[in-house]
Homo-oligomer: A and B are copies of this chain.
Amino acid sequence: MNSEFDYLNSYNINDYERPSVTADIVVFTIRSKEAENFRKDPKNALSLLLIKRGRHPYKDQWALPGGFLSPGETIEQCALREIEEETSVTPASLMSVGMFSEPGRDPRGWIISNAFVSILGGSEGPQRAGDDADDAQWFDVNFEQNENGLYMLRLRHEDICLSAVLKEEKSRFGMTSFVIEDRGSLAFDHAAIIAGALTALRSRAKDFEMIFDFLPEKFTLTELQNVQETVMNISLLSANFRRKVAGLVEETDEYTEGAGHRPAKLYRRK
């Protein structure tokens, strides 16, 4: 038996039908709202990037940034490339959320998507979205479970309010995912992707894992606390927060200035 013959017959790449593969990215950032008066610090809001589709299907509806995997790149490189094309910025982090492969999820055909969470912030600060022809905007995020056990996802940008309804589904195999009850004008299955991304982000933020990516290199402990509170939609006591993160940061000898109240020491991630 000839081994080259075996090899060539073992797999003809054209024998199998193949899906198109995309990467869709949920890009988060934290934006400051205007403060009430000169003394108060600004409030923060968790935001994510959506793009208004210029084509069918779902023309004129809002969708996650993303695009098709090209030969010669990894799916992570594809995700980074798409973010950079949209925002002209390299994100601080990239985390896989999972594969979305439900048949029929894309009316154009057999298209499966690897979803990612990415965070912009860091030294660049929140970027302008949509520098080119695309209509891209940051939407404030609100995601909560209501009294019926359903999850409400609300995304708001100025007058635009997208409101999706999802149900948590625990499969027999230990995976939990979200099923769309009402996609609320979000394109494709992107409401379910966003719900999964938020859940993954919050789970990581609990252990202080991705919260540094929202901030520049040097930051105050209060800023760090605000990030965790904003991401997880909770409220913490500062004394306890400081003790918990004490081992994760190191002091610098710099302070904030001109804040209308006592200056705060700047820290750096350890």
Residues in chain A within 8 A of chain B (CB atoms) = 3, 6-7, 10-11, 13, 16-21, 55-57, 59, 68-76, 80, 91-96, 98-99, 101-103, 108-110, 112, 114, 118, 171, 173-175, 209-210, 213
Contacts and interface: CB of A to CB of B under 8 A. Distances in A.
Contacts of A174: 92-95, 209-210, 213
A217 to B, nearest CB: 14
A74 B96 contact: no
A76 B94 CA distance: 23
A107 to B, nearest CB: 9
Contacts of A95: 173-175
A174 to B, nearest CB: 4
Given A6-B56, A10-B57, 17 more contacts: A10-B108, A11-B108, A13-B20, A13-B108, A13-B110, A17-B70, A18-B19, A18-B20, A19-B21, A21-B112, A69-B101, A73-B103, A76-B175, A92-B174, A94-B175, A174-B209, A174-B213
A99 B71 contact: no
Given A21-B21, A112-B75, A99 B101 contact: no
A131 B1 CA distance: 25
4 cross-chain pairs, A with B, having the tightest CB-CB distances, nearest first: A7-B56, A94-B173, A10-B55, A93-B174
A173 B93 contact: yes
A22 to B, nearest CB: 10
A46 to B, nearest CB: 18
A98 B74 CA distance: 12
Nearest to A75: B101
A211 B91 CA distance: 36
Contact of A102 (B19, B74, B99, B118): B74
Given A21-B18, A69-B19, A74 B94 contact: no
